[in-house]
Structure 1
Amino acid sequence: MRKAELNRETLETQIYIELNLDGKGSSDISTGIGFFDHMLILFSKHGLFDLKIVAKGDLNVDSHHTIEDVGITMGKAFNTALRDKVGITRYGSVYLPMDEALVRVVVDISGRPFLHYDVSFTAERIGEMDTKMVEEFMRAFAFNAGITLHMDLLHGSNNHHIAEACFKGLGRALRYAVSLDEREAGLPTTKGVL
């Protein structure tokens, strides 16, 4: 099983994460930010990743540090759980509809962190989560996981649906990218390293 367990402690946050890439999509999430918890549960379910997160942060300030630090720690756990990356499919892409919203998510487990993010919201907050933090989470996750991530809103008007499509799409695209290809004997690259 490809698993990781990580702690991250700063003066602003304390994050504990368990991640199993070969799970069933079960989750136990507690960040203190209800809408963010909901998004991470969706990521877990659609990625078929078992995910446990216990996060405590300075929510009296705002949600920024907690969400960013969860992204950092999740990204590092993801990279650790991948181990040597031998046999993975490497690429994953999905068009994720959520009612009127449609988001395209494309990932490459390349070892070259990059984020292209073209998603806009019409509200500043959903529940207790600032919508600008969706991008901050995606950046923190992608850069610490060592993946290239492209995320585009093709259309949509309901902010909840847009955010949900982003997190479901990330889970689903990564599910495909981390899947093992029995025909791939080594690393899926001509460079010899990912």
Structure 2
Amino acid sequence: MTRSYRGDRRTKETDIELILNLDGKGQGKIATGIGFFDHMLEQIMKHGQLDLELKAVGDIEVDFHHTVEDVGILMGKAIAEALGDKKGIVRYATAFIPMDEALSMVSMDISGRPFLQYGVNYSGEFVGQFEVQLVEEFFRALAFNSGITLHIQTQYGRNNHHIVESIFKAFAKALREAITIDPRIEGVLSTKGSL
């Protein structure tokens, strides 16, 4: 069974193409036109062991918001469709990841009930030219389009780059664990019989 997705999202603001393999080796190519965002998506790819090909062209001359949010929308859709019926997945996962002085936690439930709880304090508004408030927008779009209940909390940290990167790495590690197939699970991991 191949857990993969190939698709696109085209609006007046963005044009995005994405190929995702959930059971990859952490390889691929990412080009959104937003250097720091590309670097963060590479963290998901590498530490989540996902193969990801992503090309996005957006109205970044206006700002980065449309591109970041629309990538989140398409990635969420890709995860949901690649998971299919979710049979055998572990479903839940929590990861704490440090980066120097910053420590972040991501906890998720691939439940079909989208939700984002986001508790992150930054020391400023930007990492380079990237507005840190867009991290929340990205994960909200991803959560609501993947059907994932997602909790993100930074325990502490001072450097915005370190805080953001620890969040993306923690998301990657939690996702890798939650989508793992456990052969002991018959059907889906739910007393209701569906997710």
Letter in structure 2 aligned against 1:131: V
Q: How does 1:78-89 map to 2 (within 5 A)?
A: 78-89=79-90
Structure 1 position 21 matched with structure 2 position 15: no
Runs of 4+ in 1 over 6 A off after TM superposition: none
- For residue 84 of structure 1, give the secondary structure of its aligned residue in structure 2: coil
Query: How many percent of aligned residue pairs carry the same amino acid?
Result: 55
**TM-score, normalised via structure 1 length:** 0.99
The match for 1:124 is: 125
Q: Cα distance, 1:12 vs. partner?
A: 0.3
The match for 1:93 is: 94
Letter in structure 2 aligned against 1:55: A
The match for 1:169 is: 170
Q: Cα distance, 1:99 vs. partner?
A: 0.9
Post-superposition CA distance 1:65-91 (Å, at most 9, x none): 000000000000000000110000000
Letter in structure 2 aligned against 1:162: I
Task: Give me the whole-angstrom Cα distance separating, in 1, the residues matched to 2:36 and 2:124.
Answer: 14
The match for 1:43 is: 44
The match for 1:109 is: 110
For the 8 Å contact 1:142–1:148, the answer to whether it is kept is: yes
Letter in structure 2 aligned against 1:67: V
For the 8 Å contact 1:94–1:105, the answer to whether it is kept is: yes
The match for 2:13 is: 12
For the 8 Å contact 1:124–1:130, the answer to whether it is kept is: yes
Task: Give me the whole-angstrom Cα distance separating, in 2, the residues matched to 1:32 and 1:171.
Answer: 22
The match for 1:73 is: 74
The match for 2:59 is: 58
- For residue 115 of structure 1, give the secondary structure of its aligned residue in structure 2: strand
For the 8 Å contact 1:44–1:51, the answer to whether it is kept is: yes
- For residue 44 of structure 2, give the secondary structure of its aligned residue in structure 1: helix
For the 8 Å contact 1:34–1:127, the answer to whether it is kept is: no
Q: Which runs of 5+ in 2 are unaligned?
A: none
For the 8 Å contact 1:34–1:128, the answer to whether it is kept is: no
Structure 1 position 193 matched with structure 2 position 188: no
Q: After the TM superposition, which of the residue ranges 70-79 and 122-131 deviates more from structure 2?
A: 122-131
How many aligned residue pairs are there? 194
For the 8 Å contact 1:75–1:140, the answer to whether it is kept is: yes
Post-superposition CA distance 1:124-164 (Å, at most 9, x none): 11123110000000100000010000000101111100000
Task: Give me the whole-angstrom Cα distance separating, in 2, the residues matched to 1:91 and 1:168.
Answer: 17
Q: After the TM superposition, which of the residue ranges 104-113 and 126-135 deviates more from structure 2?
A: 126-135
For the 8 Å contact 1:103–1:165, the answer to whether it is kept is: yes
Q: Report the RMSD for the aligned CA atoms in angstroms.
A: 0.6
**TM-score, normalised via structure 2 length:** 0.98
Q: Cα distance, 1:185 vs. partner?
A: 1.4
Task: Give me the whole-angstrom Cα distance separating, in 1, the residues matched to 2:179 and 2:12.
Answer: 33
- For residue 79 of structure 2, give the secondary structure of its aligned residue in structure 1: helix
